[in-house]
A and B are shown apart, each in its own frame.
Chain A
Amino acid sequence: AQSVTQLDSHVSVSEGTPVLLRCNYSSSYSPSLFWYVQHPNKGLQLLLKYTSAATLVKGINGFEAEFKKSETSFHLTKPSAHMSDAAEYFCVVSVRYGGATNKLIFGTGTLLAVQP
């Protein structure tokens, strides 16, 4: 069965320092993996997506993630945090049922705080 585990429920960084949000996945086949961000009282915004074309995926707002099959990891990073990055981040795996049918399975989320 496909699943994702986010290793940290809360991460706090100072503005201008690097961000690392950790995610491990479990999948019986080559997975489609995503990172979504949710700002307070907002919907979910797609940050980036991995679909086996390249192991290093670049997303919006300077975020990137690296797919490491040997470690079953898909960690999200950003070189320099900005105050506007404060939000909840979800690691997500897509589960396919055949054809074009799929559902998304979300991790429990990591709340990122950015200190001035």
Chain B
Amino acid sequence: DAGVTQSPTHLIKTRGQQVTLRCSPKSGHDTVSWYQQALGQGPQFIFQYYEEEERQRGNFPDRFSGHQYPNYSSELNVNALLLGDSALYLCASSPPGPITDTQYFGPGTRLTVL
């Protein structure tokens, strides 16, 4: 059973560019959440997608946007990259059900902005 997968593994961009990160949830999971983990810190919640809609958002600017597809896979897009966007971006998925607190994480995408 494949877990959460993310691509690419590493990415290097320059300031002002745009980036798209991809995530495939664990089989049977329908909810995807994205987190940003800066070096030496704990992950910070960016947003969560369910039924192709963003249903909760953390304290991140509109430069951060996302999408969820009918097969539950998801993308995170970041526009106008800043040096401070350099971080490990983690995708997590959750199974369906009324009470599903548990989130299962992928290996992450390491984004470096130069």
Which A positions have Cβ atoms within 8 angstroms of B?
Answer: 32, 34, 36, 42-46, 49, 51, 90, 94, 96-97, 99-109
Expressed in whole angstroms, the Cα–Cα distance for A89 and B105 within the complex equals 14
Closest chain-A Cβ to B88's Cβ sits at a distance in Å of: 8
Chain B residues whose CB sits within 8 angstroms of the CB of A49 once the complex forms: 101-102
Select from chain B the residue with minimum beta-carbon distance to A36. B105
Chain B residues whose CB sits within 8 angstroms of the CB of A44 once the complex forms: 43, 90, 92, 105
Is the pair B101, A108 in contact by a Cβ cutoff of 8 Å? no
Which B positions have Cβ atoms within 8 angstroms of A?
Answer: 4, 31, 33, 35, 41-45, 48, 50, 55-56, 58, 90, 92, 94, 97-108
* Main SS at interface, chain A: strand
Expressed in whole angstroms, the Cα–Cα distance for A94 and B45 within the complex equals 11
Closest chain-B Cβ to A62's Cβ sits at a distance in Å of: 20
Expressed in whole angstroms, the Cα–Cα distance for A109 and B106 within the complex equals 18
A101-B55 in contact given A46-B102, A49-B102, A51-B101 (Cβ < 8 Å)? yes
Select from chain B the residue with minimum beta-carbon distance to A109. B42
Highest count of chain B CB atoms <10 Å: which of A34, A101, A102, A109: A102
Is the pair A100, B99 in contact by a Cβ cutoff of 8 Å? yes
Expressed in whole angstroms, the Cα–Cα distance for A99 and B48 within the complex equals 13
Chain B residues whose CB sits within 8 angstroms of the CB of A107 once the complex forms: 42
Is the pair A43, B99 in contact by a Cβ cutoff of 8 Å? no
Chain A residues whose CB sits within 8 angstroms of the CB of B4 once the complex forms: 43
Chain B residues whose CB sits within 8 angstroms of the CB of A100 once the complex forms: 31, 50, 94, 97-100
A97-B102 in contact given A42-B107, A103-B33, A105-B45 (Cβ < 8 Å)? no
The 8 Å CB contact of B108, one of A34, A43, A46, A96, is A43
| Top-9 shortest CB links A-B | A106-B42, A44-B105, A94-B101, A43-B107, A32-B101, A103-B45, A43-B105, A43-B108, A101-B56
Closest chain-B Cβ to A3's Cβ sits at a distance in Å of: 11
The 8 Å CB contact of B103, one of A42, A101, A104, A108, is A104
